[in-house]
Structure 1
Amino acid sequence: MVQVYKLDGTMAAGEVKVSVVTDRVPNIVTCSKDLTAEELCIILCKKYKIPPITRTLFALRIKGTKHFLKDNARVLYSTRDYELRIRFKVPRLGLLITLDDATYDYYFQQARNDVNKNQVMEIKYPEHKQELLGLGIADMTRAVLEESLLVKSVVKNYKKYIPNVIISKHGMFTKKYAQEYLPQLCSAGHEVNHLKNVYLQQLYALAPNYLAEEFDDVLWQNGSEEAVPVRLVVAPFHPQYPGIRFYNTLKRDWFHVCAVEELIYLTRKKNYSLEVSRRGTPMFFTFKSEDQLSTFISLCDGYYRLMVKWTFNLSKDDETPSLIELHRIKCHGPVGGAFSYRKLEEKRSKKHGCYILRQCQEDYNIYYLDVCTQNSTTETYKIEFKGDCYEFNNEEYSSIDKIVMSHQNPQGRIFLNECIPPSEYDKSQLLLCGECQKKGVRVDQAELQEILKDNKSPRCLPNKDILLYTGSEKVGSENVTATFKALWKLDETKKLVVAFKSLQKEKAMDHLKDFIELASKWACIQSSSIVRLYGVTLSSPTALVLEYLPYGPFDVYLREKKNAIKEVHLKKVSAGLARALWDLSE
């Protein structure tokens, strides 16, 4: 239950206080001992008309700190004084406008609060004096139009709209400036959302890393060397180091850890330590507290869900409660009907009895069933959770599983035979922080050579450039292929040792198609943990030109050297295997 803040400022034993930027009065929320941060976010989002489709942008920050609660944290186990914030930067403001006005307004109000209270690190005074004043005047114009206020009244209360640093440094000059320019701006005919968009675009220009989070006094466990104190920064849209980077306080330089999409998983260790598994060698960091560690994990995890895979948590110790439940009942998030219909067509060609269960985009406790019928059309049915039961087709059921079990008759109007579950590879509107895909730009022949120079994709190679080592042939286990050590002649001065894997002549006709399919799949893989395919020769013979591994097949090497291999090496190899499997799944 959401209540207003008590006049005496006190809170009962099972209550928490949450401040929101669109309401001057903080919320007092009565909580059970097991209420999670995610559940509290949902309670507040319901109250302030934030729909399910944008709800994952929000998180609870501990008041007066930089620390956020992870989704599965118990809200009564902390300070009990929180702020509801949009935590994740949305690069496409136009997308947010089209999805939901309430969320867009919350984002704007939060941004103007941050600017006015001098809480945006990249905006400096006096360097940005003029821009800060401009933002304040734009906000005053917005207030006149959106709140139907008199220009005279807004000018009188100018301190509510102008950044604090401008007021403290320039005082009454600011008021005179507003008196001069505000009337003509208000009569220019701009819409309110246009003014908010101009404000946010200017903020993005002044502070490209708005909402980036920094983690001070973190220790980087640099292999066998002593731990290095670093400052970790998570800024997914940084132009030079997108994603995670750190500042080495000893060497005084920056190091790029990885982009958000290059993260694989986050694993907690003892004493607030964390393994960051990425494309490349894992990195290990030690944080100074549980709050700091959880804040970092939840930040990376949130961006990963909003940019890459909405259905996936990076840390198995910090899973999102609602996501666990969605996986259990094979339910999609609030993906929308168009996405669901398209997926049923692509995955099952609208086969009779196939269906998708999804959350509603606008309302909480509402689900939709998109069901393929006998005549290859798709019909949509509403399921509403009533608190103690689910209502479907004017009947009540104890669970969604019961609804499915009650519709197993192929001759019935509703036949629920095969559920198409959510996939990590779904590309839907839920990826709210994903950047806009850039369309291909045409190039002319003069540019082509320069572009291809750095292209590392496999290519067709002439046989004359491949020189085989005599006596290096190794026949495959089923006598289908033969592998040679070879030299690839790159140019007149450069050669590279490679492996040359060809089809045996007598097997070529039977296995050529499979061999070509293997090459086409291999060509799509770019991974430091997988043998690289440099190119192919198409005839005399058809062969793969591969990265040469001097120690031979891995399984054979392990058997022959088992007494010489140390445990630390096995751990590194295991991490490499895990990354290879991950990259293959990608």
Structure 2
Amino acid sequence: MIAKRSSAVQSKRITHGSQRGGVGPSGDQRAGGSQRSSSSTSPSLQVHLYFFPATKNATIIHITASHISAENVCIQAGKKCGILPVHQSLFALASSDLSCWYPPSHMFNTEENLQVHFRVRFSFENWFGQGPRTSYRFSLTRDTISPVLHYSVIDYLFTQLRSDFIASEAGVCPPLSAQEECLGLAVLDLWRMAKERHQSVRELCKTVSYKSCLPKLHRHDIQRRNRLDRFRIRNTLKRFLKKLGNCSIDESSLKLKYLIELAGIEPSLGSETFQVNSSPSHSTSAFCLVRVTGETGIEMEWKTFCDFKDIIDIKIKRVCHEQVPQDSRMVTITRKDDRGLSLKEALSFVSLVDGYFRLTTDSSHYFCQDIAPPSILNGIKNHCHGPITSKFAVNKLKKSGFKGSAFLLRQSPKDYDNFFHTVCVQTPLGPDYKDCLIIKNEHYTLPGVQKLFSSLRELTSYYQHNKLLLAEVPVKLGRYSPPRPKELTNLIIIRNNSSVEAQGSPMPERNKFSHIQFHMIKCEDLQWGECLGQGYFTRIFKAIKPTFVMERNT
């Protein structure tokens, strides 16, 4: 299938398994209702948030900036929801009908008066840490396991998936054969609501029906049953709730249990499925299904095509053919073995694979300029690391071997508007490492310093020529340590199917060369042939370098 690129980014014909969603009816929403963080009659971009910490309900925020990127919308939404910068890369924006995802580079015009959903898009099956096959964030010490998600993300993910479950959206539509398991989720949900409202379960059930915690299909099925069946179901749930009401458990544990049980009911939860035309000929149709999951990578007809770490290139090019929709795109993915997969899809698929690559392989990399997050482009321009922790920054400076005044620039892992220069400072007791805070408002500045800078690069360059005080020690920034390809930091998620390669480990034997010799070929020595095609920036020609044999007379 060839997807048409429109103002909604891609065709609605693309299907997403277990990652579409909406706001369904629930006991929480009927009691509290959705809140609008602001009311405005002027055109704006309306961003639906599934969980607003201040009210613990859904809300809508209005963004009136004339032009804003999807990534910056996610950042504003993340600030409202208490999502830390470390976890912001797990989120993305879905269209109002939940048929497609906007890449982080997409520019919104608020005059279009669109509505989008701020959702967790990137998921890892074993993030909750049950058993030996657990996904976790990379840590400097093996005995320390850093979880994939923070409690703020778990709160948001719970509300999002609960909404999908009740509204039977996003591919979360369990069959009637799983009704017993769904009733178990309803019990957990009612128990959680009672804890949050500081009520007994008995008091809660006077105002909230257990059916409001079930999917549409199951609610309608129970409603069609006779009175005796409904009475038995209701009494069974009451007995369970009465027994559980005496147990000591907090709300976070109940949410976690709910998510684990829901994953058992819907095994495809967290995956996205695309219907594509895999035929190399545009005039024929050979449809197949491509599924992308955080754990296994890209699958075709449920057979593994490649993992994210095996991808070396992704290209998007315009398809010009009379039998395809106008302004369509073809996506080509190349593996390490040069085998390609052509997907006549658009930017949603590429941004999905690109995002998973940054989460699992290289946090500062992008494949396509068309979908590259603005923060990644700015980071490359300013030699700035992502929101890595101070421990990783210090560890990198130590391993670099650079002496005093060596530094690196990084985004704060806790505040979207803060950055740090982590600097190696020479003291009488040896090298020490200090963080210098950089505050971003309309300009960049240091605390207590009146001088303003228009960019991080300008600020860094200034203090490479002028001294600053770090813990009363005057320091002039020396050699910087930029991000390196495939660095292992707290931004990288280690999955149960991947092995961790130690940084600085020796290269495999097949990549070692004992001797490399370069031959210079001058342009004037070539005999030019026909043109072979068009590259990105140049044309490609066939050429031959003649070999001359000189005879020596003796």
TM-score norm. by structure 2 comes to 0.71
Q: Report the secondary structure of 2:290's partner residue.
A: strand
Compared CA separation, residues 400 and 120, structure 1 to 2 (3 A)? closer
Q: Which amino acid aligns with 1:170?
A: I
The superposition leaves residues 258-309 of structure 1 with CA deviations (integer Å, 9 ceiling, x where unpaired) of 222222222111131122122232222223xxxxx11111111111111111
Q: Which amino acid aligns with 1:415?
A: K
1:388 deviation in Å? 3.1
C-alpha separation in 2, matches of 1:66 and 1:87? 13
C-alpha separation in 1, matches of 2:334 and 2:113? 32
Which residue of 431, 442, 446 maps to 1:391?
Answer: 446
Q: How does 1:439-458 map to 2 (within 5 A)?
A: none
C-alpha separation in 2, matches of 1:439 and 1:265? 22
Q: Show the counterpart of 1:144.
A: 194
1:227 deviation in Å? 4.6
Q: Show the counterpart of 1:336.
A: 389
Q: Show the counterpart of 1:362.
A: 414
Q: Report the secondary structure of 1:221's partner residue.
A: coil
Q: Which amino acid aligns with 2:333?
A: V
Q: Which amino acid aligns with 1:401?
A: R
1:433 deviation in Å? 7.0
C-alpha separation in 1, matches of 2:306 and 2:530? 30
Q: Show the counterpart of 2:307.
A: 259
Which residue of 299, 306, 310 maps to 2:359?
Answer: 306
Residue pair 2:313, 2:367 contacting (<8 A) in 1 also: yes
C-alpha separation in 1, matches of 2:500 and 2:431? 34
Q: How does 1:151-170 map to 2 (within 5 A)?
A: 151-156=201-206, 157=208, 158-170=210-222
Q: Show the counterpart of 1:276.
A: 333
Compared CA separation, residues 360 and 82, structure 1 to 2 (3 A)? same
- Asked if 1:403 is matched to 2:462, the reply is no
Q: Report the secondary structure of 1:103's partner residue.
A: helix
Q: Which amino acid aligns with 2:424?
A: C
- Asked if 1:286 is matched to 2:344, the reply is yes
Q: Show the counterpart of 2:348.
A: 295
C-alpha separation in 1, matches of 2:113 and 2:334? 32
Q: Show the counterpart of 2:263.
A: 204
C-alpha separation in 1, matches of 2:234 and 2:147? 31
Q: Which amino acid aligns with 1:108?
A: F
Indicate the structure (1 or 2) with the bigger Cα radius of gyration: 1
**Further displaced range: 339-348 or 89-98:** 89-98
CA RMSD of aligned residues (A): 3.7
Q: Report the secondary structure of 2:451's partner residue.
A: strand
C-alpha separation in 2, matches of 1:101 and 1:87? 17
Compared CA separation, residues 564 and 207, structure 1 to 2 (3 A)? farther
- Asked if 1:12 is matched to 2:42, the reply is yes
The superposition leaves residues 410-456 of structure 1 with CA deviations (integer Å, 9 ceiling, x where unpaired) of 8962221111111222111212474486799xxxxxxxxxxxxxxxx
- Asked if 1:430 is matched to 2:491, the reply is yes
C-alpha separation in 1, matches of 2:410 and 2:86? 12
1:44 deviation in Å? 1.1
1:318 deviation in Å? 1.6
1:36 deviation in Å? 0.8
1:315 deviation in Å? 1.4
Q: Show the counterpart of 1:327.
A: 380
C-alpha separation in 1, matches of 2:97 and 2:467? 59
- Asked if 1:215 is matched to 2:274, the reply is yes
Which residue of 154, 159, 164 maps to 1:114?
Answer: 164
Q: Which amino acid aligns with 2:123?
A: K
Compared CA separation, residues 436 and 393, structure 1 to 2 (3 A)? farther
C-alpha separation in 2, matches of 1:111 and 1:426? 32
Which residue of 118, 135, 139 maps to 1:84?
Answer: 118
Which residue of 240, 254, 263 maps to 1:181?
Answer: 240
Q: Show the counterpart of 2:81.
A: 48
Q: Which amino acid aligns with 1:263?
A: I
Residue pair 2:154, 2:256 contacting (<8 A) in 1 also: no
Q: Report the secondary structure of 1:177's partner residue.
A: helix
C-alpha separation in 2, matches of 1:101 and 1:330? 31
The superposition leaves residues 139-192 of structure 1 with CA deviations (integer Å, 9 ceiling, x where unpaired) of 221222233233124323123323333322224454333211112212111222
Residue pair 1:155, 1:178 contacting (<8 A) in 2 also: no
C-alpha separation in 1, matches of 2:498 and 2:333? 27
Q: Report the secondary structure of 2:487's partner residue.
A: coil
Q: Which runs of 5+ in 2 are unaligned?
A: 1-34, 130-135, 137-145, 224-229, 319-327, 522-526, 540-554
C-alpha separation in 2, matches of 1:554 and 1:275? 33
C-alpha separation in 2, matches of 1:67 and 1:22? 21
C-alpha separation in 1, matches of 2:308 and 2:85? 23
1:73 deviation in Å? 0.8
C-alpha separation in 2, matches of 1:523 and 1:223? 40
1:361 deviation in Å? 1.2
Residue pair 1:261, 1:308 contacting (<8 A) in 2 also: yes
TM-score norm. by structure 1 comes to 0.68
Flag the structure with more relative contact order, 1 or 2, with Cα contacts below 8 A and sequence separation at least 6.
Answer: 2
C-alpha separation in 2, matches of 1:174 and 1:334? 50
1:69 deviation in Å? 0.7
Q: Which amino acid aligns with 2:340?
A: P
**Further displaced range: 114-123 or 54-63:** 114-123
Compared CA separation, residues 44 and 430, structure 1 to 2 (3 A)? same
Q: How does 1:98-137 map to 2 (within 5 A)?
A: 100-119=150-169, 121=171, 124-137=174-187
1:389 deviation in Å? 3.7
Q: Report the secondary structure of 2:372's partner residue.
A: coil
Residue pair 2:211, 2:219 contacting (<8 A) in 1 also: yes
1:93 deviation in Å? 2.5
Q: What percent of counterpart residues are identical?
A: 20
Which residue of 410, 426, 431 maps to 1:376?
Answer: 431
Q: Which amino acid aligns with 1:44?
A: A
Q: Show the counterpart of 2:369.
A: 316
Compared CA separation, residues 100 and 524, structure 1 to 2 (3 A)? same
Residue pair 1:51, 1:362 contacting (<8 A) in 2 also: yes
C-alpha separation in 1, matches of 2:272 and 2:297? 11
C-alpha separation in 1, matches of 2:531 and 2:449? 65
C-alpha separation in 1, matches of 2:313 and 2:148? 32
The number of equivalent residue pairs is 445
Residue pair 1:213, 1:234 contacting (<8 A) in 2 also: yes
C-alpha separation in 2, matches of 1:233 and 1:268? 19
Q: Which amino acid aligns with 1:146?
A: E
- Asked if 1:192 is matched to 2:251, the reply is yes
**Further displaced range: 301-310 or 25-34:** 25-34
Q: Which amino acid aligns with 1:69?
A: Y
Q: Which amino acid aligns with 1:175?
A: R
1:225 deviation in Å? 9.3
Q: Which structure has the highest helix share of the two?
A: 1
Residue pair 1:244, 1:258 contacting (<8 A) in 2 also: yes
Compared CA separation, residues 310 and 256, structure 1 to 2 (3 A)? same
C-alpha separation in 1, matches of 2:438 and 2:74? 23
Compared CA separation, residues 176 and 167, structure 1 to 2 (3 A)? farther
Which residue of 413, 432, 447 maps to 2:474?
Answer: 413
